[in-house]
A and B are shown apart, each in its own frame.
Chain A
Amino acid sequence: MCDNCGCNLTDANRHALGAEEHHTIEVLENLLQVNDIQAGHNREHFDEYGVFAVNIMSGPGSGKTSLLEATIKALPPGVKVAVIEGDLETENDAERIRRHGVPAIQITTGMACHLDAHMVHGALHELALQGLDILFIENVGNLVCPASFDIGQHRNVILLSVTEGDDKPAKYPVMVHAADLALITKTDLLPYIEEFSVGRARDSFLGIKGQLPIIELSAKNGAGLEQWIAWLLAEVAKRRPAAAA
């Protein structure tokens, strides 16, 4: 018996020497396949009813819910909206929306830092899509995780408030890259925050996604809201060819 030719291998020690039969199994399967299939189903539901679904993403406290409240007031009468709110805990945001007479479903994710397609699908069971024009899905406040999960939306909107710093887009490039529209919010505070440069914030966005449309607005004083409303209505019109004609 020697250590050179393998003649010392027996059934008893084969495992220990790593000489057991290994084989490689090729798989090539998407790790988020289950989520992505559900997201596709969600999108089919939205398309069936001609609803424009928009995923609103940002860090916590950049004004997503305030923007939605201002948007509800600023939309022309006859545009029907509903809101899905995602938070780790509390029903607070959905209650804020309901005060405006708009249906709102709260998803509390517990420990999950993002919404996924199944959570959104669960909320859809409590929501009538018929007759709706826009479904706002306010994602959990987080600039990283929500970007990884398709929830069936048609468009992603990212918010950056002027209190957050104008270099934030460069720090969270993956979410910026996933965005279809960027909103610079709380511009009413600009006179008090000299560190924030709208120009630098724009450059920071455009360095990651050169074609990204950017709107500056204030939900508080209404400045810039009309551009946001126009963007929304253009998206609604794309999904309601019959109504637009």
Chain B
Amino acid sequence: MHETAIVAGLMRIITQQASKHGAAHVSRVTVKVGRLRAVEPQQLRACFEMFAEGTVADGAELVVEEIGVRGRCRGCATEFDVPRYHFQCPACAGNDIEVIQGQELFIENFEASSSPPPAVDPPLVPK
């Protein structure tokens, strides 16, 4: 469950940035996660839901955009999508491959509003 440590980092960033921009409520957060990070999106979302409770991001949706692995062959410079962690060049069959995509782990943006979150409607009391 290294996802908890990652979400702790995410919450730190959201709290800081929200206060810097005067945001009262965060409704949606988008993070980019490379497939070489061994991060499970579902666990990330579950963790986020827990950590966000009672914060500016309470109830916010966490969008996890997964980024596939791409490599560049050091032998022939071919760039290719790496299927199932099989690091072999499709052009020259070389196996000295530099990773050019798939190690990402960052928050891209979040949607915020300056007004507080919509309150649950109070029960209607007939006059």
Contact = CB atoms under 8 A, between A and B. Distances in A.
Interface of A: 15-16, 20-35, 111-114, 116, 144-145, 147-149, 170, 173-175, 177, 206-211
B46 interface: no
Contacts of A114: 2, 5
A147 B5 CA distance: 13
Contacts of B109: 24-28
Among A16, A148, A206, the most chain B Cβ lie within 10 Å of the Cβ of A148
A208 B17 contact: no
Nearest to B88: A210
Contacts of B2: 113-114, 144-145, 148-149
B115 A31 contact: no
* Chain A interface, >50% SS class: mixed
Given A34-B9, A144-B2, A149-B2, A25 B105 contact: no
Given A31-B10, A145-B38, A211-B95, 8 more contacts: A15-B119, A22-B112, A25-B110, A25-B112, A148-B6, A174-B85, A209-B87, A210-B96
Contacts of A30: 105-106
Nearest to A142: B2
Contact of B85 (A25, A32, A208): A208
B9 A174 contact: no
A29 B87 contact: no
B108 to A, nearest CB: 6
B107 A29 contact: yes
B67 interface: no
